[in-house]
Amino acid sequence: MATLSLATSDSWRDKQTGETREKTEWHRVVIFGKLAEIAAEYLQKGTQVYIEGQLQTRKWQNNQGQDRYSTEVVVNVNGTMQMLGSRGDAKNATAQPAGHQPAQKPQPSKPANKERQATPAVQPAVLPAEEEMDWDSKIPF
């Protein structure tokens, strides 16, 4: 099993100011099986990756006994992990746009360790920006 954090970014042009806006969200990813071994070996800081899996929310308790919830993308037998870009991209990924924080190589999780493991992040491919949709004129009904 390998765990990592994945950043996804969305950018758009603000209608009122004309400025380009960007929003980055972080997603916890848990990978099982052979894909976990591949992720642990090949994913590293700055690697672009496509992930497809199931969303799963789990309940856990913090040190104070309070219930907490974590939603994760679970990649198992039916999931997909595809590394994007060329082989040298991750090694040459030192110049990152502002606000992007790719992280370190994911490590396989140890089942005996019951404390939460710090999880590295992997930067996905940035999709081209699309113009903000004018919902008033484009709704088909």
Structural domain includes residue 59:
yes
**Does residue 132 belong to any structural domain of this protein?**
no
8-39 pLDDT, tens digit each: 999 999 999 999 999 999 999 999 999 999 99
Confirm whether 79 is domain-assigned: yes
H or E segment and range at residue 42: helix 33-42
- Total domain count for the chain? 1
Which CATH number is 44's domain given?
2.40.50.140
Asked whether residue 141 is domain-assigned, the answer is no
Residue 135 lies in a domain: no
* Antiparallel, parallel or unpaired: β 67-75 and 20-31: parallel
pTM for the structure as a whole: 0.57
If you search the block for the tokens 């939603």, which residue do you land on?
Answer: 71
Could you report the per-residue pLDDT of 75-105, keeping only the tens digit for each? 998 899 999 976 655 554 433 333 333 444 4
Does 138 reside within a domain? no
The boundaries of the domain holding residue 108 are: 2-126
CB 91 within 8 A of CB 24: no
User: Per the domain annotation, does 76 fall within a domain?
Assistant: yes
Whole-number pLDDT of residue 25: 94
